[in-house]
Homo-oligomer: A and B are copies of this chain.
């Protein structure tokens, strides 16, 4: 058993990360490359894994992607703005080369599963994982199962209350302007407001109060909608501790004593798996689960 190797594909919109891991979900080998067109990208993926005797693979993909095994479009990337990927069947492209159990889910579901298995939610029965970066997305796990019936979730496009000082901002979501979280609080929204890339905006800038107001609403709505045991925020925007503490403090203001919560330092947290490794660990665990089915 100790020789079993598992494969992880983190198929992001800008970057692919492929990894081979062992039964302890430790990375043995890893590679990453920019996301090109489907053919060249998948060729790199296949070349990488061909060098190993892999027993199962899991893919955490950018979306929208059809992850319903009962659907006729199962495995296909759907209406993404990356036109060359639209309609591409990422699952079949792999199955052609690897006659193995292959599990497909979303990138945020994979990260959620990693944190649930070995990270911030390892002692919990439920968690919600968000990424706040170029986009905003979330994955939800309860008792080991992902939430999502009709298709995967699109939590980044939920509507929230506009910050009183942000009423005139036009937002960056092509569908919802600044009405949805992705339009009002994704990385590009920070840039649209300040003219600066998020990581270069100083801690003192007022935009962080606005950002924290939206993320705090997301956290509060998540507590009310799912009552998860942990709420985890990953992604580039959330890596700043000053932002996390603002989020916790505005959460408390907005909740106004209504709903009970654990101490927020333990409840609204960053990922515990270092080096953006949540999705890779999650994929290893999902690949193993698929193998054991």
Binding site for B on A (CB under 8 A): 124-126, 142-143, 145, 147-155, 157-162, 175-176, 179, 217, 220-221, 223-229, 254-260, 262
Task: List the number of copies, as a whole number.
Answer: 2
**Which residues of B have CB within 8 Å of A162?**
161-162
Q: Do B126 and A157 touch across chains, with their CB atoms under 8 A apart? A: no
Among B149, B175, B228, B255, the residue within 8 A (CB) of A258 is: B175
Give, as a whole number of angstroms, the nearest-CB distance from A22 to chain B.
30
Give, as a whole number of angstroms, the nearest-CB distance from A71 to chain B.
12
Among B151, B227, B257, the residue within 8 A (CB) of A149 is: B227
**Which residues of B have CB within 8 Å of A147?**
142, 147, 226-227
**Which residues of B have CB within 8 Å of A258?**
154, 157, 175-176
List 4 tightest A-B contacts by C-beta distance, closest first: A126-B149, A175-B258, A150-B227, A158-B221
CA distance A255 to B174 in the complex (A): 11
Q: Do A224 and B148 touch across chains, with their CB atoms under 8 A apart? A: no
CA distance A162 to B227 in the complex (A): 24
**Which residues of B have CB within 8 Å of A149?**
124-126, 142, 226-229
